[in-house]
Amino acid sequence: MMENLSLKAPESSAVPVESSTSSGAAGEPAALVPGAVEVLPILPLRDTVLFPDTIIPLSIGRASSMQLLEQSLPQSKLLGLVLQKDKESENPSLDQLHEHGVIGRVIRMMRQESGVVIVVRGEQRMRIRQVVQQEPYMKAEVETLSSVMPAKDDDLAEAALRNLRESATKLLSLRPEVSDEVKTLFSTIEDASTLTDILAANLSIETDAKQKLLEETHVTRRVAALEVHLNNQLHIADLQSKLRENVSSEFSEAQKRAYLREQLRAIQKELGEDDSGEEQVEDIRLRLDKAGLPEKARAQADRELKRLEIIPAQSPDHSVIVNYLETLAELPWNVLSDEKVDLRKAQEILDRDHFGLTKVKKRLIEYLAVRKLNPTGRGPILCFLGPPGVGKTSLGQSIAEALGRKFARISLGGLRDETEIRGHRRTYIGSMPGRLIQELKRLGTRNPVLMLDEIDKLGADFRGDPASALLEVLDPRQNQEFTDRYIDVPFDLSQIIFIATCNTLDTIPAPLRDRMEIVELTGYTEREKLSIAKNYLVKRQLSEHGLTEDQCSWSDEAIERVIEDYTREAGVRNLERQIASVTRHVAASIAKEEITQAKVTPAIVREALGPAAFVRESKLQTSVPGVVTGLAYTTAGGEVLHIEAIRFPGKGGFTLTGQLGDVMKESVRAALSLVRSRAAQLGIDPETFDKNEVHVHVPAGAVPKDGPSAGIAMFTALASLFSNRPVSKDVGMTGEVTLRGLVLPIGGLKEKSIAALRAGLKTILVPKLNEKDEPDLPEEVRQRLKIIPVETVDEVLAAALEPAAEKA
């Protein structure tokens, strides 16, 4: 809609403000020269964009703005007027203001009971360069900008300008409320820049669109943008003109509806059901209009609105419908966070928040690079696999910060009800949407980073299978039409960046696992834990306990003692808890004024935490036939296993103890069969097997042990036992065997090698097919451990067995 172009302030209570383009108050420039730099007071505007060559009244209510006028107007009538990004902000800073604005001249000021009204004329575009004063009001150094005019011989630009003028004239002709004076004014404007500015100021378009037109200094591009807005206004005006032709019949229909509605209200009042629900319905209708629902969703909402109009407020269905419509109105159907991918900043954020994890960071930077090149592409669903406490969830937060998106976390651990994903059907009071829709409603954006935590701990029972429900959510080709059972209309999830976390892949169904790209996070070495503790954990705990580094400092030996004696984990979560316990111990002493500062040593650690909680498995002190050091992978990282085998007279049976799982039991049986098949090669009398019982035991019997990587350790223990050749105490081994004597590859090589280094081993035997994993091992491991790849059990025995012991 076109507004009046000329504004005149009321004469009552008016205080005229003198203005002159040729001369002004002290310190005021005689003329605004394009490219000139001036220092001006900045007046933030909440929801108004001022254009050059236009005049508008502004109501001033903020204390800072009142002080700005009182102090600056006596010296200069020029102000910098800039639109603020958030109109609710009371005292916006520079980053909360748009960079481009207009230099305005105050031509009148009127004092009223509610505040001050000023009339301002736009002079010239400008751009804020830097702030020179923040309090009590903002002053900034601004650069004046000029419009870029098209060349005189540019026929295409001239044709576009004529089209714009014709469209504006046509729009004015369809607006009977516009005066002839305004129509004449448009026909007399020759300057293209002035014409576009006046049109932009008076078109009924969104504030953000006006701001973009203000920032556009190229007149030709400004003309093209205005032509689009004018065409939209012409379309609306044409429809309004057609509607006026049928106003009589429409008005009579409206009267009929109003009469019937009034009768219904009277009936409800007689029944005691009058609750003035009409205002509530109208409020919900306005909120739905503002939400911008898609066609299907709006049709569903309109049907429910019609039901709401006739259902009494005391009816249970009334609250169900109101909750449903409010949910539809609050969902971010068209709200997207601005995404800015800065790879250097992303690398800085990842390095700041996470130590090590070089391979994982590289994959994330690649992921973000693809997002930058193709923002609308269907990227993979990443799943971070690793033990607890290695930083899986915080990696998701770092990705959200690097992208400038909002972050939310949904814990799936122990989830068994499918309705938590798909939502409840609206068949009863208390039904609600699923967790996904609830989080989007809370965040207010359709493209957050959503962390699906502990996806490997989903359950299933008579209430459904949540893992199957996630198949649709995590499929980029299906989730743009995701239908929550509660809202019962499609909602687009394709712009969400889903990131899952898990500790193991074994419990994730294969179809769901196929939806995701697995990014593995391994555990930390003790040296890495030491660096993490020094650079991150200690500083964070000192801050949380109100201590400074001068009051409480940690020695490396103290941190190492906490790592070795009080934690057994791949990550650093429990390490931080123990550091917090020691810090509390020191904080209590300082608070009691017993000491003023402390340096944490191993003695203070023991005093705060008590005796060591864990005794690390170390290498064997002596070499004994039948005893082998194996390497195992657990959810807390790598561990060494001392596998012991003894024989005694009997009838050829064998016993297994140590809480071995089915896989390890099968490894022992396969190893025994392999040793018996190679008896001659190993120099063993075959009758020995029939005359002796064998007992295989893995100490730490209270800890369940299982996994397909103990085959060569079991074989070596039995071969050592029956050949009476001890295994070197400095050798550890991992790998599975076949009945043909081949060594099969294993997983968790990094964790197992770290455990070997921690136990003091010097050599480890690994499957030859795992040579590809050696570059991923920590530098410390590769320097201090001799890694021997083996392909057959013959190579294992050659590297592990010592010369045969002498018989007594």
Which residue numbers are catalytic? 709, 752
Say if residues 122 and 104 touch (Cβ distance below 8 Å): yes
Task: For residues 405 and 755, give the distance between their C-alpha atoms in angstroms, rounded to a whole number.
Answer: 39
CA distance 791 to 707: 20
Structure tokens at 46: 């909440």
d(CA 24, CA 20): 6
- If you count them, how many residues does the chain have? 808
Residue 581 backbone zone (phi > 0: left; psi -120 to 50: alpha; other: beta): alpha
Q: Taking the CA of residue 185 as centre, how many other CA atoms within 13 Å lie in the half-sphere pointing to its CB?
A: 16
Helix/strand/coil for 3: coil
Three-state DSSP class for residue 500: strand
112 φ, ψ (degrees, to nearest 5): -130, 170
Angle in degrees, 0-180, between the axes of helices 219-245 and 192-202, rounded to the nearest 10: 40
Widest Cα–Cα separation across the chain: 125
Q: Got the DSSP string for 635-658?
A: TTEEEEEEEEEEEEESSS-EEEES
Our measurement of the distance from residue 388's CA atom to the centroid of its chain's CA atoms, rounded to an integer in Å, reads 20
- Rounded to whole angstroms, the Cα distance separating 345 from 73 reads 43
Of the candidates 521, 404, 417, the one whose C-alpha atom is nearest the C-alpha of residue 470 is 417
Rg (CA), the chain: 38
Distance CA 123, CA 102 (A): 7
Q: How far apart are CA 32 and CA 450, in angstroms?
A: 51
Torsion of Cα atoms, 440 then 446 then 450 then 452, to 10°: 60
Q: Is 9 helix (H, G, I), strand (E, B) or coil?
A: coil
Listed in order, strand segments (DSSP E) in 362-504 are: 381-385, 407-411, 449-453, 482-483, 490-491, 497-502
**What type of residue is 556?**
D
Give the tokens for residue 414.
């122990």
Q: Where are the beta strands (DSSP E) in 430-586?
A: 449-453, 482-483, 490-491, 497-502, 516-520, 552-554
Phi, psi of 309, deg, nearest 5: -65, -30
Strands of the 627-634 sheet, one edge to the other = 654-657, 692-697, 637-649, 627-634, 731-733, 763-767, 786-790
The owner of tokens 């013959």 is 794
Torsion angle of C-alpha atoms 802, 803, 805, 807, degrees rounded to 10: 150
Element housing 110 (H / E): strand 100-112
**SS3 sequence of 213-233:** HHHCCEHHHHHHHHHHHHHHH
Amino acid at 221: R
CA atoms of 601 and 297, how far apart (whole Å): 65
